[in-house]
Amino acid sequence: MFAWVRRRAKALSLASVAGLLGFWVATMPHPLRPADIPAHTANIENGKLLYNIGGCISCHMSVGDAAVPSGGKPLSTPIGMLYPPNLTPDPETGLGKWSDVDFVNAMQKGLRPDGSYLIPAFPYTSYAHMKVEDVMDIKAYLASLPPVQNKVMPHAVVALPLIRRGLGLWQWIGLDSTKFVPEPTQSERWNRGAYLVIGPGHCAECHTPRTLLMSSDVSRMFAGGPHPDGKGQVPSLRSLAERGRYKDVKDLVLAFQNGEELGYDKMSSGGMGEVRKHIASLPQADVEAIAEYLMSLK
Ligand code: HEC
Ligand code: HEC
């Protein structure tokens, strides 16, 4: 009897050691190294445009000044309150000491310079589809901002180190880092729109429903669903014309550029008000590109 219990206990502890080892190996970070990213002459203007459509300021604003990405404005998520970090080039509390490859690892692999995993409330799952050069341009734009010293509060999340390590497992299913590939049968404008929507615009983070494992359900891309912050619904972006939401591309462009002012009332709540302003800040050609792509979704 006792021998049996002892044997069982031994088997169990062997299994748990193997399990732990497996977990450890499966969640080991694999960051890019400096040689993995291309040599690139930064284009700060392009970086600014992508920063705008990327909506970085929506989450990384400071409590005091809504125009500066020095971080700290609380972001409520289902796992607890997060305090998005300081993105200004302050060497102590911001990104001042980050190299290009550190930045690309954060934006496209969800990894911090110390190898810990970033929480995907930071939409790196979308930014991962961007061109590496475009990500480097955002870094160059951020580096051109005045440094602001602002140490943000630690996240209020239970068992955060364990969650961070566990995210390594989640990334196996939740992080698809294939780069955007243009659709050769479509126009250049359509492809530009698709890129902005799928990559920097991270529209799928709200407009695509999630599976039980919290990864995007790609079979229902842009079909709408529960709001990721837990409150209310996000509408579908499919068949916008057929459902009578917008007459044509021009109508949707007007909606993005004017919102409620012209009576377009489905773009103001649940974070969409800020997204709409970011879209409206783009050059006319890019707003048209986004609208053309969206109107083609069936
Ligand atoms: C929806 C909210 C949201 C948006 C939009 C967002 N971020 Fe973040 N970001 C976060 C949160 C939350 C964290 C912290 C994640 C963590 O601690 O694991 C973060 C972390 C980061 C980090 C890691 C910094 C560090 O010190 O660890 C970088 C770099 C970053 N974001 C850059 C950006 C850039 C650039 C953009 C725009 C292109 C952007 N973020 C847009 C929420 C957001
Ligand atoms: C933070 C979550 C969030 C993100 C990110 C987001 N949206 Fe939305 N979107 C919403 C919500 C919520 C609504 C409904 C708002 C309302 O009814 O006032 C909406 C509404 C819309 C509508 C109107 C739909 C209709 O039926 O009239 C369009 C078009 C749209 N979003 C496009 C986009 C595009 C393009 C992007 C990316 C650049 C984007 N959204 C990113 C949450 C989001």
pLDDT (0 to 100) of residue 7: 75
Residue with CA closest to ligand 2 atom 22: 267
CA of 195 to the centre of ligand 2 (A): 17
Phi/psi of residue 123, nearest 5 degrees? -75, 50
CA of 52 to the centre of ligand 2 (A): 16
Question: What length is written for the chain?
Answer: 298
Mutation test of ligand 2: which of 195, 206, 251, 279 has the most ligand atoms closer than 8 Å to its C-beta?
A: 206
Which ligand number lies closest to the CA of residue 60?
Answer: 1
Cα first-last separation, the chain: 65
How confident is the model over 238-297, as pLDDT tens digits? Answer: 999 999 999 999 999 999 999 999 999 999 999 999 999 999 999 999 999 999 999 999
Cβ–Cβ under 8 Å, residues 195 and 286: no
pLDDT (0 to 100) of residue 15: 82
Q: How confident is the model at residue 117 (pLDDT cuts 50, 70, 90)?
A: very high
Q: How confident is the model at residue 231 (pLDDT cuts 50, 70, 90)?
A: confident
CA of 270 to the centre of ligand 2 (A): 8
Structure tokens belonging to residue 118? 């970033």
CA of 239 to the centre of ligand 2 (A): 14
Mutation test of ligand 1: which of 53, 60, 105 has the most ligand atoms closer than 8 Å to its C-beta?
A: 60
pLDDT (0 to 100) of residue 11: 74
pLDDT (0 to 100) of residue 19: 87
Q: How confident is the model at residue 143 (pLDDT cuts 50, 70, 90)?
A: very high
Tell which wins on pLDDT, 106 or 20: 106
Q: Does the pLDDT of residue 1 top 70, yes or no?
A: no
CA of 75 to the centre of ligand 1 (A): 11
Give the torsion sign (CA, 218, 174, 59, 288). negative
Q: How confident is the model at residue 22 (pLDDT cuts 50, 70, 90)?
A: confident
How confident is the model over 44-59, as pLDDT tens digits? Answer: 999 999 999 999 999 9
Tell which wins on pLDDT, 15 or 46: 46
The finding on whether 272 has its CB within 6 A of some atom of ligand 2 is yes
